[in-house]
């Protein structure tokens, strides 16, 4: 029984060895009962413990060393050196690594070039967008601002140009833009001259009235007011009264017309223009009379002279007066636009043209006419002549005030425009009186005798 069991065990062991050898040969079982060492080429049993083996080998070596010497002996000191020399892995590079490096460098360079091209394209797009935005903003500002100053001054509105192109009309027809502008200019010239003559008479007649109160004789001419300078009745006080009261009267009356009468809702068109030109001349005979009188030593300039002002103070007051004129003119832009009888005229694109034909051109032509009327004595007595030019400080500043919002008390209707005969006749009569009657001279004196006595 034991013999058969042993034989059966041996045959079973041998068959198992053969089967495992056949499996390893055919690659079926790749597992090994050996332990793979950390050193290449050496296979050790799985239950191998390096520390135990080295200890047993050291004990066996020490026992044999005591009996007899061994010629070919492997000691512990030689094993590490041999192991390091034999099994140290070699450091070498494969042939694919340089190619891989070159490929990575080329890819990095291509990526860099691609990124640079993308950044350049983005910069170009941003620059193009900025240029387009700048052009659009410029066009928008042009549309908001309308026509340029020169186009506004010397060209009519677009509607008028289209109307003239669509229908050929005669030069002096109601549909002609030239005729409509001409009527504005002529009517404003007539009002300018008429109001100037009225203010001129008011100024000097007031001075004559004050002088007559003190018994001083005076003669009014078309170019100046003459007094008897050798009279013993002149004093410092009545000189200040005679030359100082008329300008202040003009100032108060001008404020009343400008602030009260002009706002009357019943006044429209030329009536408002008449009030506006009158107030302008009244303001000018106060603020413009001071620098003119200081320069010429006449009129309102006597007040500064007899108050013993030095040159610096006179110069300072002259600048303040001219600045006040410019300030009044700047804030009168709304009043100028309200003298229009058409809503179309006061639109932003037409305002410059309207103020040109309503104020600037009439002032220039009216000044030339008055200089011709005052010839040849106009520049010999330059007090009033300089005041004609100082009105420029009232006429020019309104062109720079474009933010006003005028209010018209009329509806938008088509009206026939023509030269106003009434204002034209008034201008001719006043000019005739100024040049003919005052060419001879107007002597004006008031004598008041008051006596109080008891009744008998």
Place of tokens 């001279």: 441
> Digits of tens for pLDDT over the chain (456 positions)?
445 555 555 555 566 666 776 776 665 555 444 444 454 555 555 555 656 555 565 565 555 544 444 444 444 444 444 444 444 444 444 556 777 777 788 888 888 889 999 999 999 999 998 999 888 888 877 776 655 555 555 455 545 555 545 456 666 666 677 888 888 899 999 999 999 999 999 999 999 999 888 888 888 999 988 887 777 888 999 999 999 999 999 999 999 999 999 988 888 888 899 999 999 999 999 999 999 999 998 989 999 999 999 999 999 999 999 999 999 999 999 999 988 877 778 888 888 888 999 999 999 999 999 999 998 888 888 999 999 999 999 999 999 988 888 877 664 445 667 888 999 999 999 999 999 988 888 876 666 566 666 655
Q: What is the DSSP letter of 345?
A: G
Tell me the HSE value of 253 on the side-chain side, using a 13 A CA sphere.
21
**How far is CA 314 from its chain centroid?**
38
Structure tokens at 35: 């332990």
* Plot region of 342 (φ>0 → left; ψ -120 to 50 → alpha; else → beta): beta
Q: Alpha carbon of 402 to those of 144, 330, 340, 356: distances in Å? A: 12, 10, 16, 14
Structure tokens at 450: 């008051």
Q: Is 339 helix (H, G, I), strand (E, B) or coil?
A: coil
Q: Alpha carbon of 410 to those of 130, 185, 204, 354, 413: distances in Å? A: 47, 21, 38, 17, 8
């Amino acid at each position: 029984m034991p013999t058969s069991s042993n034989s059966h065990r041996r045959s079973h062991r041998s068959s198992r060895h053969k089967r495992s050898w056949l499996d390893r040969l055919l690659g079926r079982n790749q597992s090994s009962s050996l332990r793979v060492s950390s050193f290449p080429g050496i296979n050790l049993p799985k239950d191998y413990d390096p520390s135990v083996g080295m200890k047993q080998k050291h004990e066996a070596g020490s026992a044999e060393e005591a009996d007899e010497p061994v010629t070919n002996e492997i000691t512990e000191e030689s094993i590490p050196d041999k192991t390091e020399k034999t099994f140290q892995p070699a450091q070498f590079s494969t042939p694919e690594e340089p190619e891989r490096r070159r490929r990575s460098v080329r890819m990095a360079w291509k990526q860099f070039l691609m990124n640079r091209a993308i950044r350049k394209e983005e910069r170009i797009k941003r620059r193009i967008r900025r240029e387009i935005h700048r052009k659009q903003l410029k066009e928008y500002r042009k549309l908001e601002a309308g026509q340029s100053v020169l186009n506004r001054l010397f060209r009519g509105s677009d509607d008028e140009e289209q109307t003239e192109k669509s229908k050929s009309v005669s030069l002096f027809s109601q549909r002609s833009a030239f005729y409509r502008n001409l009527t504005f200019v002529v009517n404003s010239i007539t009002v300018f001259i008429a109001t100037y003559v009225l203010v001129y008479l008011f100024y000097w007649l007031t001075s004559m009235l004050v002088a007559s109160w003190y018994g001083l004789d005076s003669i009014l001419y078309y170019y100046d007011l003459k007094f008897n300078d050798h009279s013993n009745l002149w004093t410092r006080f009545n000189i200040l009264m005679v030359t100082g009261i008329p300008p202040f009267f003009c100032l108060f009356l001008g404020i009343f017309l400008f602030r009260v009468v002009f706002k009357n809702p019943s006044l429209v068109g030329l009536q408002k223009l008449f009030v506006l030109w009158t107030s302008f001349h009244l303001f000018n005979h106060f603020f413009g009379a001071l620098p003119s009188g200081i320069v010429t030593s006449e009129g309102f300039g006597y007040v500064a002279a007899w108050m013993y002002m030095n040159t610096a103070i006179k110069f300072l007051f002259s600048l303040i007066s001219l600045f006040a004129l410019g300030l009044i003119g700047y804030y009168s832009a709304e009043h100028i636009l309200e003298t229009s009888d058409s809503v179309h005229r006061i639109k932003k694109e037409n305002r410059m043209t309207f103020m040109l034909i309503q104020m600037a051109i009439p002032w220039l032509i009216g000044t030339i006419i008055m200089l011709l009327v005052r010839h040849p004595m106009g520049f010999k007595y330059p007090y009033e002549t300089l005041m004609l030019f100082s009105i420029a400080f009232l006429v020019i500043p309104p062109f720079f005030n474009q933010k006003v919002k005028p209010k018209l008390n009329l509806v938008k209707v088509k009206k026939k425009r023509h030269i106003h005969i009434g204002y034209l006749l008034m201008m001719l009569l006043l000019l005739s009186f100024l040049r003919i009657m005052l060419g001879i001279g107007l002597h004006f004196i008031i004598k008041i005798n008051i006596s109080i006595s008891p009744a008998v």
